[in-house]
Amino acid sequence: MEKPAMQNLFDLSGKVALITGATRGIGLAIARAYGQAGARLAISSESADDCERVCHELAEEGFEAQAFAADLSQSGQVPYLAGAVVQAFGRVDALVCNAGVAPHMGPLASASDADWALTMTVNLRSALWLTNALIPRMAEQGGGAVVLMASIAGVRGNKALGLYGLSKAGLAQLARNLAVEWGPSNVRVNAISPGVIQTEFARPLTDRPEVMEKRLALTPLRRVGTPDEIAGLALLLASAAGGFITGQNIVVDGGTTIGDGN
């Protein structure tokens, strides 16, 4: 029986998706959403054990998933990751660069060289390395989609997350640049900028009631987001439903960045 047209818009059947930072939080939610849409999944994080555990969980849920551990702070592991996924699946149709770190909190002047190197390498340079490795393959096969996980920390100033915000602002610009460079080859590249999402990564914020009270008072929806609410947008951007969207940085923050505090 033919699927309804609307369902076809979000169908990823026959597609291969590589998701980094895929073993928890937003990355895992995106993997599940893509699997539910029919995609075959390449699950990556720096922990081989975590990758295998998640692939086992996804297999029990009926999804095809393989584990590809890689430390994205090491440039030599990125071409290995890209090559291993292509060798295993024969292609990559959707790339989600979700891996990220925030080793430094505080004013920019207090960030060490090591903080700068780790933040920029994992959050920004690894995305550039992966897109350099995989987008040309997407172009050869007729097209593809890339989702870069940015942050609202990259669209405004921050007292505590300035270095992290710089790296995420860079991701949004990378999406714009790659969209221009590869649009003629039918490769779409977009960024998502989440606000506070209920994940392990966000616990330094969400576990502090005094901080969250102030943050939620500035958020029109008066709550934090869920990983599934980011995954839904990531599915749109990887599917035919998002086929005319490219070069965008889409903010998903419950209105935090547009609120007036009332």
* List 34, 68, 129, 164, catalytic entry: 164
Based on the residue annotation, tell me whether 34 is a catalytic residue of this protein: no
Beta bridge partners of 52: none
In angstroms, how far is the first alpha carbon of the chain from the final one? 50
Give the H or E element holding residue 95.
strand 94-97
Q: How far apart are CA 247 and CA 127, in angstroms?
A: 15
Q: How many CA atoms lie within 13 A of 211 on its CB side?
A: 10
Strand 144-149 relative to strand 94-97, pairing? parallel
CB 56 within 8 A of CB 43: no
For residue 37, what are the contacts with CB-CB under 8 A and spacing of at least 6? 10, 11, 12, 13, 235, 239
- Cα 149 vs. chain centroid, distance in angstroms? 4
Q: What tokens does 257 get? A: 């960045």
Strand 16-20 relative to strand 187-194, pairing? unpaired
Distances, alpha carbon 217 to alpha carbons 8, 152, 157, 224, 260, in Å: 39, 17, 19, 11, 10
Beta bridge partners of 43: 19, 67
Among 23, 1, 15, which residue's Cα sits nearest to residue 201? Answer: 23
Catalytic residues: 164
